[in-house]
Amino acid sequence: MHVAGTLVKPEKDETEELKIELEEIELQYQKVVKDTAMKKHEAVMPSKKILSLKKTVLVFSLFLIHFIYSNCSKHVKVFQCKFDHNTSYNSLEIK
């Protein structure tokens, strides 16, 4: 520290106190960084669970639709369009 052109050295006690304060601040900073990282990790985890649940629901829905379609198509009569050459429109014929 310069005062009017002369160098003033801080007392030993001041430098030791400043070093201790700096170490405490660094420890607090590291703790805050660690806590923030944990909070971010905790915030990401529920979204992964929700995504997994959405995938499960989607797969189950597709399976259910396939099952219903495969069983119902055997019992339901299928309508098929046949072109009638005598008329200018398509007529439905039940098979």
Q: Tens of pLDDT along 12-70?
A: 677 888 888 999 999 999 999 888 877 776 666 667 777 888 899 999 999 988 887 77
Q: Determine contact, residues 16/22, Cβ cutoff 8 Å.
A: no
In a domain, 79, yes or no: yes
Domain count, the chain: 1
User: In which region does residue 93 sit, left (phi positive, over 0), alpha (psi from -120 to 50) or beta (all else)?
Assistant: beta
pLDDT for 71? 72
Does residue 50 form part of some domain?
yes
pLDDT of residue 27: 92
CA distance 14 to 21: 10
**72 is in which domain, residue-wise?**
9-94
| Tokens read off for 62 | 């597709």
Q: Which two tokens stand for residue 52?
A: 């997994």
Residue 3, in any domain of the structure: no
Helical ranges in 2-95 per DSSP H: 12-75
What is the rounded average pLDDT of the residues 60-82? 70
Asked if residue 4 belongs to a domain, the reply is no
DSSP state of 92: E
How much is the average pLDDT of 77-92? 52
**In this predicted structure, what is the pLDDT of residue 38?**
76
